[in-house]
Structure 1
Amino acid sequence: MNARLQRIWFFVRWLGGLALGWRFGWGWGLAACFAYPLLLLPSFALLRRVNRGPGCPRWRELLRAWVLEVAISERSFGWRQPWRTHAEPDHLPAGAEAGVLLVHGFSCNRAFWNGWMARLRGQPGVAFIAPSLEPPFGSIDDYADAIEAEVQRLRMLTGRPPLIVCHSMGGLAVRAWWRRHATAEAPQVITLGTPHAGTLMAAFSPAFNARQMRHRGDWVAELPPLPRLTCVWTPCDQLVMPAATAVQPGAAAHRVDGVGHVGLVADPRVWTLFQAALAASFSTPRRI
């Protein structure tokens, strides 16, 4: 469903740009088609105020993050997610020794992870699943059972709990899953730009799952902590504000500078951290 909505938005955006160009001139049409980069600028500039204090991002870092975010977002939301949803199918090879569950964030689908899935497919002994969470704007609690089903598929295949990697809202979906399906053997979880304490930006969306992510809201406050969690965060995150909300209290934290919210998934430093966690997961005792 989310891919269908993104395809509709794609056509609305470009047909609207063509209509404006035909009526008022092609300069206005191009500006409409590429308005997204300009709309991102104020949120990046706002970070100088929201994240002020020690470690506040410099203007040069924010500019770099903005440029990268525009390129990565256009590729993800303009090509991969609307048109390439199943270009990288789940990979469940017989004899796999480790499993990876990739959980996308708000208003996304499984194709958000296409780059990761293409690279993981070449790693021997690794199985992976990337579900699309539906409905796209429903309650985050409703994703818990779908996540549980995929966790069990990977556990049955490998004999181990999977390594779970989440982006943005996906981390909260996994915490909602843990509240409903907690076991004695907790999986290793890595969250990328997850608003563990909510985000100020959620106040601008009417979607039900966005309202659940409001800063210091009741829903996020009631979520249980994940026992084995690594939080990757960036002070240049234009959607998770303030940046400190991207770290669950007591969890390991890794700061990545000069990259925005979506850009975290394409950053080589994040991939290196993930690879270290994946290598460690091979040594987890199997439960056959």
Structure 2
Amino acid sequence: MRHENETEVLEFVLMGFSNHPRMEPLLFVLFSFIYMATLFGNFGVIVLATADPHLHTPMYFFLRHLAFLNLCYTTAVVPKMLSNLISVKKTISYLLCMVQTYISAFMGAAECVLLAVMALDRYVAVCHPLRYTIIMNHHVCGRIAAASWTLSFLVSVVPLKLSLPPLCGPYIIDHVFCEAPVLLHMICSDTSLNELLMLLSGISTLMLPFILVLVSYGHIIRAVIRIRTAGGRHKAFSTCSSHLTVVTIYYGTGMFMYMRPKSSYSPEKDKWVSVFYAVINPMLNPIIYSFRNNEVKESLMRAFGRNKLPKAL
């Protein structure tokens, strides 16, 4: 039975930052720069980690997956956001809105799982260094990556499909892109069950991986404390600091957005939170993880032949 306000939806009005019209040109320039930096940084990680044999390690194997995820996530969101920032008619088709909703849920869940897997990788590297290459061999890493993507799909897209019934008008989305928490406001019927399903999905995609991260780093800290030399402790912590930074940023914003009741939503604040984890975070990941890493710097020097310069002098 169709609800009286339920009609065939062709497009939505996507408000974005239209309540700040003077900021829109500046935001267009800013987000364009961020998007270009995101494409360059993540594509660079994939190419570099694939081409350089020195980076054929489990850590960079999972980093390539994370970089690919970032490219998919930001490309699903940013181009339409940029288009609406310079358009008078700020709309998004129903099909593209659903694509954004499902991709943001899938990629968000996949990033949570991958971050947990990378914490497990750091645990094995620090706590079992002599057995690291045996435990985290290429075959195991491939199976873990495949399982991570499959599990992320099952705990994000499937519950979302079950919890997102037909929507009711007015078809106005006061947000920067389409994602599940925002669409809850447009559901025709009572949303208690939908919120419960979203909470359960948030627990499985956010809380359980986060607990795995905490347990992994609990063991890592205990192992590092046992290292007698200051240099050894510094090296162990340096391999984990970048990952901890990304974990703190991503899980914090994700929990804020997906694990709270609909009544506490604030359109203005939620826009900036979503921009942070869907637009800014994919740009920061290559910088935090890779380009401040000595192994990556050395790989870049080899790629550009910089290591040959001293011999020519």
Asked if Structure 1 and Structure 2 have the same fold, meaning a TM-score greater than 0.5 normalized by the shorter chain, the answer is: no
Q: TM-score, normalised by structure 2?
A: 0.27
Higher share in helix: 2
More relative contact order, 1 or 2 (CA 8 Å, 6+ apart): 2
Q: TM-score, normalised by structure 1?
A: 0.29
